[in-house]
Each structure stands twice: as structure tokens, then as C-alpha cells.
Structure 1
């Protein structure tokens, strides 16, 4: 694999937007380190392990979430990557539904591995005598990252529509979405939190749209000029400074003078939350981060054209989803091992001993996560499949549809497609997966589920994932665009980037 990564680094076209890959890697590192830093493990009065966020007690650390809350960066990079990938797929004659199936497959393969392993471990634990009420909190904790996949899958599913809106209405689209977020926030200020449920979609879609505009600026496509109908994101240093200062000023006003909490992650007991659902304060935080990103873009691109830094970024992106999905499981395994050895430190939050414990805690977690990544990353990298070796790499043609089989199987496929259109089945599969991930996140961690996950959610997820996998593997009725020959240089790297 090291030799292959070196080859990819050497063959990277000069025009590739390498900065996107760096942002993705830095963002995932911030999420992992941030989660590990704020995890507090203790024992309750009955001697059972419990987990909570240190920010509940460590209020002075809450402004630190302004830096570590980088989920908007994933959606920004995702907008650029999804627009590039969809454009490339269509230029090869592919249909949006097949693009969507390919995109979902890349996300769901490593996610399914996590879910199946956790369900199997939960069943095994109960077979050896563990109580279901003890198993569910552990699995719930390990599946915390899955809420992000639910939101991102929904945004990806809407990409053909939202990209079309971007091409027609440009920056007016995220402006309207931001207005909807404000409306949701005003509603929950006077009523229950559920009044802002639409912000779960509107907030992330708004950030995703700016990713489209960034790509148009980078590739000089779409409309420039002034006004909200422009599709290109202004990229100059003046714009970066304005976004940085304006976003930070708005964040200070909304959190210190306004009604929003300082923390950009949810803390139990607060009247409002910034993250779930996304608030206008979270988007103000994303605004200053975008300004900083634009200001650092030039120096970062120059640095990334050096071989060694770029090689590290390539390696990180090859396993980025595996790292994200398994980093909480790494903490679960380490805590379980230390508890079994009666060697789990539980110093008071904020004490000198607690801070000193952070360093060996982070180092040991890194080792555990590295082992998990070594075991499960082949699922993400495609176990050696050329077309899916590295996110965003122009190798092969993963968007093409393979034709296989014939005779009776072909007739069955043709009959099934006449009964239920391919697009409808794709939408149903994605809806089942998203609903399952949301159900797991919303179900109490104290629910006594036999497999650690809500039974209905587990069935819904596996059924939806199975339908999507079946659709990816079956032939399409229409003739697919031929794959590029191995000797072909393939499409532009800016048209094959993915997240």
C-alpha cells in the first residue's frame, strides 16, 4: 500500500485542488481529538461505568468548541466533491441515480461493517451473561458518529436537485436556506426545540451549497459577477478577512449577548442547542472558519505540492471514514480493558490529575484506533479495487455499470424494473438507511435492545443497505457509458473528487 500511495502522490495532476483533501484530513483529526479530550468515564453509585462530556463541568472549555466544531467543513468539502463527481459522471453519459448509488456505496460499506460488528459483539456479550441494559449504553456510545452519516446521506441524496438549483439561482439558494434556519431558530425561541427540526436539513444544505460555489470559482465555470445569482464563490483575501471578522463578531453577539449557548456541541440541560439542530450561531461559527480557510488556501496549496506533506494527506484520506466511524469504539475498547484490569483512572474533571491523564489517554487511544483502522480500512479502500482505492482519485471508472449475467436473471431484472423504477427503489433504500440511523441516535441509551441497537432500526438499515447494494450490482436497462481504458488519463481530478 505504501508503494501505491507513493505512486498516487507522484501522479497527482498539478491542477488538482489538494487543499480540499487537507481540509478533510484536518477536520477528521479535529473531531477525533475533540471527542477524546472531552470524554469523561466514571463509575456510578452501583459501580457501573458511565460516560459524559467534560464540558458539563468544564464551562471554561466551551469556547474551545468554536475551533473543534468542524462538521460544517465536511459539508463544504462535500459540496465541492459532489458537484465535481456528479458533473464527471454526467459527462460520461451516466444517470444521476447511478451516481447516487455509487456515492452511497462508498459511505455504507464501512458503516455497515461497524453496525454488524457492534450488533454481533452485543449478542456475544449477552450470550456470556451481560445484561441488555448494560449492553445498549456501550453500543449507543460507539454509534455516536452515525448521526453525521444520516445528515450527510440526506444531503447527498438531494445533490442532483440542489446542484440544479445552484446552477439556476447561484448564491441565492444558500441565502434562502439561511433564512429558513433563522426562521426555525425564532420558532424554537418561543416554543419547543422540535419547531426547528427543519434546520437539520436547511443548515447542512446551506453549507453544502457553498461547496458548489467554491468549485465553480476553482474551475471558472458557472456565472461570476455580482449579485446573488452568481454561482462562483468570491475567493479573494478581502472576502476571507470579511468572513473571518464578520462571522466571529456575529458569533460573539449571538452567544455572549444573544440567547445561544457558547458551546458548539450539545450539552444536556441547556435551553437551546447549537448542533442538534444546527443554529444560526453554528453557521456564524462556520462563517469565520470559511474566512480562515480562504485566507490559508494559497500557502496551503503551495505546501501541498511538496511530496512528503502530500503523501501524508493522501494516506489520511484513504482511511478517513474508517477513522471517523471507529474512533469512539477505540475509546470503548480501551475503557473496557482498563476496567477489566482495575486500572481505569477516574480523576475529578478539571483537576491537575485529570489534565495529566489526557496525554497518555490520547496516546493509547491513537494506538487502539490504529489497530482498528488496520483491520477495517480495506473495506473503505475497496480491498484493492482500483476504482475506489482513494477518495477523489481519477483511477478507473467506478461510475460505470457492469453488465453481468443473462438469461433468466436478466428477465427477472427487466420485470422488476418495470414494476418498480430504479430511482424509486434507490430513494426507498436511502430513506430506510437514514431513518434507521436517526432512530438509533434518538433512542435512549438505556433502552434494553437485544443487539445494542433498536431492532426496528437495525432491520431498516440492513434492508435499505441490501436494496442499495443489489441495485449497484445489477445491470441497468439503458446502455451504460463505456469505462475509460486503463491507459486513458481519465477525467479531470477536479471532476472526480469525493468526500
Structure 2
């Protein structure tokens, strides 16, 4: 144990020393927190119950609606889009200054997003086909594949907004927010068609993305950040939920008539703005925390494989659930209905097991995300964790 701590301290010191002085570590910390929030949220609100010889998806939010505030903590995609907007705007401006064309810039940005997707699609095509050939129920296969593929919508939207950075970088969040409000008014107030709501998939996530672009221009002073939090969290989000008829949950609930997330509603956008305000207010404190080598090394490692963690976390949970079926009895918190406080307690105990399974997925598939980087002359022997170099970590 002492040797492991010594190796970790040495690695953390190496990462800290190799990190460029101008890197905004707080932005990396916000990105890591956003990804981990989504992962933990899915593990807590997604349940696969064993019944009739198959697995069926449900959620504790169906049975215990009072858990809705949990979604406020773990629905952190807005922070990811906030950071993405800032990074994309700064990166494109830097590329233009260096004479790098749009095609080369967007190809590099999107390549990092989509390289890991191919591995997920190939594996699950084989797994789904094998399950069907082996006689698995179609509903079970559909449930599992849906859990794997459902997070990919976020990557498609994020990729589209990233590709549109030259067009939207100067666009403020007011205009897409107005579009969301107009669509909701038409959809809910004037009995418009349901399909019109899907306009908000682009408009809703454009709000935090353009907010991040504005942040890159220095447009958000501390007073503006506080206004985002106080002005949007209390009167807007709470008001829309309490008196506007919007659901309290900020994630989809199976069987619910309206979802705040699919597609995004005005309540989700107001909550996203409040969450972004909180993230911006926390930036300075995070920046100070990231000066500690150990804290920064953990954030750097998560960012190095952020897409791998995101893409494989549902597979890790499902693998543990499937292996648990080998036990004759149904395991609490894993196969049982999520309808009691006891289920919640049991589920929390399963989280380290899910994390261990995710670690195995990370070890197997992280190479699909990490670009090949040449060894720098200044780093002749990189310290490593499972072969990960300091160079790769600090330039992710």
C-alpha cells in the first residue's frame, strides 16, 4: 500500500509538472464533474428488473416520485455543454490565429468524440445478435440496446453544435432560450403538434453552449454568474415546476406524459442556466483546488478518457446485472423492483461494483479515444498508470 501511494504521488507530481502553465484546470474539473455526474445519475435512476425470464427497464422515479431532487444533482449535461462551448470557441479562435483551416480544426475535434463510438457499436452489434440467436427475448435485447444507444443522442447534438461554432460562437443564450419558450407555448399552450418539441433538442442545448462561448469572451462577471444562479434557480425553474405544470424531475421518467429532457423544455433550460451559474461561481474555488497535484492528476485522468467512461458506463452496469443472474436468488438493488428505501440503500452498495466493471471497460477500450502522440523531447520516460503517459494526460 505504501508503495502504491508513493507511485501515485510520483505520477501526480509528473502530471502537475508537465501540464502547460496556461491550461485552465478549473474547466477540466468542471468537465470531469459533469461526466461523473451523468454516470452516477444513470446508475442510480436506471434499474433492470428480472421478470418472466428477461430484463425490463424501469426507474425508482416511477415508484418514488419524491426522489426527483436527485435528478437536480446528477443531471449535469448543461455543465458539459457550457465547457464545450467555451473550449470550442477558444479552440477555433486559436486555430484561426495559427492559420489552421476549419476542416482540419473540426475534424480533430469531432474525431476525439467519435473514435470511441465505433467500438461500442461493433461490440453491441455482436452481443445483440448473439443474444437473439441464443433465444433471448426480443424485449430484453431491445431494453439493453436502448440503454447503450440512448446516451449517443447527446454526442450527436454536441458534435453538431461544435461543428457550428463559427456560426453560433457570437450568439447569446437569449435567442435560443426564446425559441425554447416559443416552442413550449405552441406545444403545451396552443395544442401544437408533439413533433415541434424536437426543435428544442438543438435550441435547448444551444443555450449552455452559447453561454460557454460568451464565457470565453469574458462576458460573464461574478455579478452575472450570481444572477444566473439566483435569477434562474428560484423564480424560473421553481416557478415553472410549481405553477407551470412542468415535471419536477430533470431526467426522463418511464411512462410520464411529459419529459423535461426528451426533448428539453423551458424548465430544463432554466435549470441549465442556474446550474451553469453555480458552475461559474465555483470556478475560482476549483482553480485553487486544482493546484494540488493529487487533485489535478485525478481530473486529468478522467478527462483523458471522458468519452470512454461515458460510453461504457451503461455496459458496465448491465454486465454486473447480467452476471448477477447466475445467482439463484434475485439480488436486492440489482434485479428487484426499485420501489423502496431499501432498494436505494442496496443500490448504493452496488456502485463500487459498477465502478470496477467500468474500470475493466476503460482498460480494454480507452485506446480508441486517446490519439497517438509523439514522445516529446522533454519527457524521456513517462510515468504511467496502465500505460498512460504524462504527455497524453496533460495534452488531452
Bin for the TM-score computed over the shorter chain: 0.7 to 0.9
Listed one character per residue, the Cα deviations across residues 448-495 of structure 1 (whole Å, up to 9, x for unaligned) are xxxxxxxxxxxxxxxxxxxxxxxxxxxxxxxxxxxxxxxxxxxxxxxx
Across the aligned residues of Structure 1 and Structure 2, the Cα RMSD in angstroms comes to 2.4
Kept in 2, the 8 Å contact 1:21–1:317? The answer is yes
Which residue number in structure 1 is paired with residue 317 of structure 2? 331
Which residue of the other structure, out of 242, 247, 260, is the alignment partner of 2:232?
Answer: 247
Kept in 1, the 8 Å contact 2:81–2:209? The answer is yes
Kept in 2, the 8 Å contact 1:85–1:497? The answer is no
Instruction: Supply the distance in 2 between the matched residues of 1:76 and 1:148 (Cα, whole angstroms).
Output: 14
Listed one character per residue, the Cα deviations across residues 21-58 of structure 1 (whole Å, up to 9, x for unaligned) are 001111111111111111222233x3322111111111
Matches within 5 A, 1:137-148: 137-148=143-154
CA shift for structure 1 position 69: 1.1
What is the number of equivalent residue pairs in this alignment? 367
Which residue number in structure 2 is paired with residue 301 of structure 1? 287
Mapped pair 1:83 → 2:89: yes
Instruction: Supply the distance in 1 between the matched residues of 2:221 and 2:256 (Cα, whole angstroms).
Output: 37
Kept in 2, the 8 Å contact 1:142–1:332? The answer is no
Matches within 5 A, 1:184-263: 184-189=183-188, 190-217=191-218, 233-236=219-222, 238-249=223-234, 250-263=236-249
Q: Structure 1: where are the runs of 5+ without partners?
A: 218-232, 390-394, 396-495
In terms of mean alpha carbon deviation, does 116-125 or 23-32 score higher? Answer: 116-125
Mapped pair 1:365 → 2:354: yes
Which residue number in structure 1 is paired with residue 4 of structure 2? none
Task: Output the TM-score relative to the length of structure 1.
Answer: 0.69
**1:359–1:196 CA distance, 2 compared to 1 (3 A):** closer
Which one has a bigger Cα radius of gyration? 1
Secondary structure of the residue aligned to 1:42 is: strand
**1:360–1:119 CA distance, 2 compared to 1 (3 A):** same
Which residue number in structure 1 is paired with residue 383 of structure 2? none
Which residue number in structure 2 is paired with residue 14 of structure 1? 21
**1:117–1:87 CA distance, 2 compared to 1 (3 A):** same
In terms of mean alpha carbon deviation, does 175-184 or 287-296 score higher? Answer: 287-296
Instruction: Supply the distance in 2 between the matched residues of 1:252 and 1:134 (Cα, whole angstroms).
Output: 37
**1:65–1:132 CA distance, 2 compared to 1 (3 A):** closer
Listed one character per residue, the Cα deviations across residues 313-346 of structure 1 (whole Å, up to 9, x for unaligned) are 1111111110100000111111110012334424
Task: Output the TM-score relative to the length of structure 2.
Answer: 0.86
Which residue of the other structure, out of 29, 32, 36, is the alignment partner of 2:43?
Answer: 36
Q: Structure 2: where are the runs of 5+ without partners?
A: 1-6, 380-393
**1:320–1:296 CA distance, 2 compared to 1 (3 A):** same
Task: Kindly report structure 1 stretches of 4+ aligned residues shifted beyond 6 Å.
Answer: 1-5
**1:192–1:55 CA distance, 2 compared to 1 (3 A):** farther
Which residue number in structure 2 is paired with residue 275 of structure 1? 261
Kept in 1, the 8 Å contact 2:64–2:340? The answer is no
